[in-house]
A and B are shown apart, each in its own frame.
Chain A
């Protein structure tokens, strides 16, 4: 049973590079879409106008309540009668819409955690609500959002592997294809795992660095 041969890892390792690059691209574009959607829906969710809250609530409810794989298939295969989306953009959009819901909740939480007094201080200086959000609340909220966002980015990177289901040429797809053609699935999956671990480690390190850098102004609270 045990005929694994891990000595082939160096041989195939570099062949994963372009696929890892695809994973990175899908993740980055997905997250960019997710960040925009997340911020937008977080602001809608927090708006004083009730009418604006509902679409945000519905979006978050629907997206968090269904699996990413389903959403992916929905966009790539399901929508085909209305609009044909190429597989790579489809993967980016699905990942973006999916992460947008979680990121919206992250932003909502961090915006709400900014002390009320900050808004009042801004108001008392004569700032409009928009200016307060942009100059006072969001800079503080982003800072607080960094640790959970880092976490969400890592999840998104791993979730990008689901794009293999619509045959986007990313890491996992390559590992499976190479694994079955060479009868060395275990070895190829191991290579993919090394790539994933490397990339998530980089993300963790970056997240920690950003967190540390942003902490300069509030190393302690005196109140």
Chain B
């Protein structure tokens, strides 16, 4: 197993660069996080992680890089005269977990919402899985099927049961038969530990449970990438853990994730890369240990000193 791990790093190193100081550290970041995580995560998890990597390598062939899932170039957005996003550049690889941190009002949620076009940026290019997508496209609803989103306030459909919520998209968007949809719905609800509550209504379960259902609802669509917009911010503290656990599980399964959050513990443990956004700009990015322990930019340092 270790051999595979090394092999993987080597391969990534061959296509990218080996030293942390190089300007294009993305490949290294993936490798770094594997090394880092080996301390924090127990052996079983690590084995699982390596299995996924192994599968990944086999699938991708020898000289192929991990493909980029999300590519954002020069994204700018204004609300009236106020510029909320300033030339954002970001690329997220398949299977990568990127955590976006920053003060409220910094534009991090807006950035996330631009990725599935809930907000429309006036300038810049967004590509998802290699396809460049125009803001003016009439087929944004097709794009959104591939991008799952989890909201701060869950936004479950109150007039549908838990199962009804999970199968809504499958039946109404994918045109699946309700029988088939329920089968998949059961799997998804089981995954987030909510199968027992399938027949109740959202108003009858706790916030943390609602958020897990919301995750199952998004996953049911089999998205290529999952966006989390402060998924635990509206929860009572004792309910946060269960939601984060589900997200960790997802990350381990290799889901590509972009997570806007204030949960720094989660960022440190799960993120492959942490991005600090301030006043609509990406100020600093890097592996979690680098950002949290050795931030270079004074604004990053200031922000972290306030919250850590």
- A→B interface (CB under 8 Å): 115, 117-118, 120-121, 123-128, 131, 135-136, 139-140, 143, 216-223
Evaluate contact between A120 and B159: CB separation under 8 angstroms: no
Task: Give chain A nearest CB distance to B162 CB in angstroms.
Answer: 11
Cα of A217 to Cα of B205 in the assembled complex, Å: 11
Inter-subunit contact B173/A125 (CB<8 Å): yes
Whether B145 pairs with A126 at a CB distance below 8 angstroms is yes
Task: Tell me the smallest distance from the CB of A109 to a CB of chain B, in Å.
Answer: 18
Given the interface pairs A125-B145, A126-B221, A140-B158, the reply to whether A218 lies near B172 with Cβ below 8 Å is no
Contacts from B to A (Cβ < 8 Å): 116, 118, 141-149, 151, 153-161, 168-169, 172-173, 201-207, 210, 214, 217-218, 221, 234
CA distance A220 to B201 in the complex (A): 10
Pairwise interchain contact B158-A126, C-beta atoms closer than 8 A? no
Q: Chain B residues near A216: list those with CB within 8 A.
A: 201
Residue among A117, A131, A140, A143 making CB contact with B153, cutoff 8 Å: A117
Of the candidates A118, A123, A222, the one whose C-beta lies within 8 Å of that of B144 is: A123
For chain A, what secondary structure do more than half of its interface residues adopt (helix, strand, loop), or is it mixed? helix
A117-B151, A217-B201, A221-B203 known; A128+B158 contact, CB < 8 A: no
Cβ B141 vs Cβ A123 within 8 A: yes
Residues of B within 8 A of A135 (CB): 168, 172
- Report the 3 A-B pairs with minimum CB-CB distance, sorted nearest first: A126-B145, A125-B169, A121-B155
Q: Which residues of B contact A115 (CB under 8 A)?
A: 153, 155
Q: What chain A residues lie within 8 Å of B144 (beta carbons)?
A: 123-126
Least CB distance from A164 to B in Å reads 42
Q: How many A-B residue pairs have CB under 8 A?
A: 89
Least Cβ distance of B235 to chain A in Å? Answer: 10
A206-B188 Cα distance, complex, nearest whole Å: 40
Pick from B155, B160, B168: contact of A117, CB below 8 A. B155
Pairwise interchain contact A222-B201, C-beta atoms closer than 8 A: no
The answer to whether A217 and B155 touch across the interface, beta carbons within 8 angstroms, is: no
Indicate whether A223 sits within 8 Å of B234 (C-beta atoms), given known contacts A118-B157, A124-B118, A125-B221: yes
Which chain A residue shows the least CB distance to B150?
A124
Q: Which of A117, A123, A125, A216 gathers most chain B CB within 10 Å? A: A125
The residue in A118, A126, A218 that gathers the most chain B C-beta atoms within 10 A of its C-beta is A126
On whether the beta carbons of A222 and B203 are closer than 8 Å, the reply is yes
> Given A123-B118, A125-B145, A217-B202, 7 more contacts at CB 8 Å?
A117-B155, A124-B116, A131-B172, A139-B159, A217-B201, A217-B203, A222-B206
B118's contact among A120, A136, A219, A223, by CB below 8 Å, is which? Answer: A120
In contact, B173 and A218 (Cβ under 8 angstroms): no
CA distance A97 to B108 in the complex (A): 49
User: Nearest chain A CB to B204's CB is how many angstroms away?
Assistant: 8
- 18 pairs of residues in contact across A and B, judged by CB atoms under 8 Å: A117-B151, A120-B149, A120-B151, A123-B116, A124-B218, A125-B144, A125-B173, A128-B141, A131-B172, A140-B159, A216-B201, A217-B160, A218-B159, A219-B203, A220-B203, A221-B203, A223-B153, A223-B154
Nearest residue, chain B, Cβ from A223: B153
Q: A121-B155, A121-B156, A131-B172 are in contact. Are A218 and B201 (CB under 8 A)?
A: yes
Distance from B14 Cβ to chain A, minimum over Cβ atoms (Å): 38
Contacts of B116 in A (CB 8 A): 123-124
Interchain CA distance A121-B116 in the complex, whole Å? 11
Whole-angstrom CA separation of A219 from B160 in the bound complex: 13
